[in-house]
Structure 1
Amino acid sequence: MKRELIDMMNENSLRAESIIHLATMLAHEQWPEAAKEAFMEEEPERIWSAIGIEPPYDLDDEGLIFEHLMDHSKLGYLVSFATPVPQDINHESWRLSWGYYRMKWIYADTYESACYKALEWREKFVSQKREEALKDLAEWQGQLKEHGPTCPECGEGAMNPKNPADPECNQFYCGECLFNDSDEDGGEL
């Protein structure tokens, strides 16, 4: 089971950023720093949403929080998972980098269950990002077909290649931005 879980996490670009076992880490008066940060300092509403219950009336009382979790039989694992945000999405592929990633708190009774829930979250997240990117790409291609390219600096058109002497150049700017760019570079393109 361990090897299968490790492989699943690696193959799907998922990692656990923080693991809090509620039954053992919160049972004592002096909580570990990771638990204090999650429940009291970061965004407690995200934590309670992940656990699936309303928070207690006092979020600064560690004993009350643990009692509240016990009363609701929520003594499993609260895990912060991370996955890279898909970039450069097209119809066939996308790029992933740990330099830009999304995190989510997930609660489950076992660590393995939390990992499988994280996989479901990641699949939905990537699918949503892909759908959004492909929709944006289709809109951009429609605008490009109808109006020609638009300037990446100001969003205006009609466009001219940045280097008119190079027919393979795929960078386009409007006349004003092209002129401003040449001023910044000492007057030459």
Structure 2
Amino acid sequence: MTTKVNLPDIAKSDSLPISDMRPDSEKEKKIFSLLISNDKYGIIRTGDARLSPSPIRLLQYQAFDKFNASGHLPKVGVYHFVVYQNTKAQLLAQTTGAVAGGLIGALIAQSITDHDVPASTQLFDEKTFNAQSSDEYQNGLFAKSENPKKGAVYIVFIDTDIEPPRVCRRLFDLSHAASGSALCG
């Protein structure tokens, strides 16, 4: 399923130079494991096809919106822009609900997956991020304190160079409606 974002006058942002230097793998969807007993179960790299226009095009639009008023459009380099969806706890809760059966199982699953934690943004270390390339699914993991009720989450890594400095950000969103407004903030 593709999420379509309707942006007014998107063509106006074509004048902002953007270089997509991401690894090809970040552009592709990947389900890390379908086996419930595997540590990688429930973690998905969403890829570019899930969003229209593409994440890079949305970033270009937002950067243009932010910098156009100043009269100076910076060059934008994108080294990483990857979205992970972690649904492990939610999928396990649904399995528990199916095993427990009926209404009681559904109530258990719902109580486990409610979310009250707001989205957050933090800096990340690019070297640590790159070092996990052999165990990439770990980029889709989160701390218990980030998601105490174990709901499904989006975890987004963005590493950009918008007229120095280069900034690497990790966005954590429980709402399933990751807003682009934090991309260029």
Query: What TM-score do you get using the length of structure 1 for normalisation?
Result: 0.28
The structure richer in helix per residue is 1
The structure richer in strand per residue is 2
| Higher RCO (C-alpha under 8 Å, 6+ residues apart) | 2
Query: What TM-score do you get using the length of structure 2 for normalisation?
Result: 0.29
